[in-house]
Amino acid sequence: MLDTDDLERRMGGAISSLRTEFASLRTGRASATMLEPVMVEAYGQRTPINQVGTVNVPEPRMVTINVWDKSLVGKVEKAIRESGLGINPQLNGTIIMLPIPELNEERRRELTRVAGQYAENARVSIRNVRRDGMDQIKKAKGDGLSEDDQKLWEDEVQDMTDKHIAAIDAALDTKQKEIMQV
């Protein structure tokens, strides 16, 4: 029969990955999470920055990374420059300082568009899970599920979908307000 827990878990996963993507979008203040999507070419593989150094936020407009291995400082700097975060790293020995510039109006609008794209990708993921659920129900109907039960299950899957899409919309609205706040 239909595993609603699995559908719920997969839809929840789409929302949790959206939250991670939103955390990487920077608003006007510094945050260690903005570096989470940045990967460094270290020891022959792509590694998250927080696994090659200590990330700190000593003040509201500054993030520092204390790189543990001197030989990786250049690679970490390069990864940040190429990440599209729009931050210019400054070197100080093994410490990389990332001054967070004030966001201008154009950059804020651009970030709200990016947030909208992230949200749309999450909605598509939710709809794909919904489609899987509906396919399982159709298959069960072929295996002898009554029409009343089919309708019940379809309604439950649709309610689950609506609830998760509403959560995405709410998260997007919050993030866009946060980005546009001066």
This prediction has a pTM of 0.67
| In the block, residue with structure tokens 């919309």 | 169
The DSSP H or E segment spanning 65 is strand 62-67
Claim to verify: residue 89 and residue 38 sit in the same structural domain: yes
Q: Give pLDDT tens digits for 78-95.
A: 988 887 777 889 998 889
Q: What is the domain extent for residue 109?
A: 4-22+104-180
Domains in the chain, number: 2
Q: Is the model more confident about 59 or about 154?
A: 154
Query: Are 34 and 86 members of one domain?
Result: yes
Instruction: For residue range 155-181, list pLDDT tens digits in order.
Output: 999 999 999 999 999 999 999 988 887
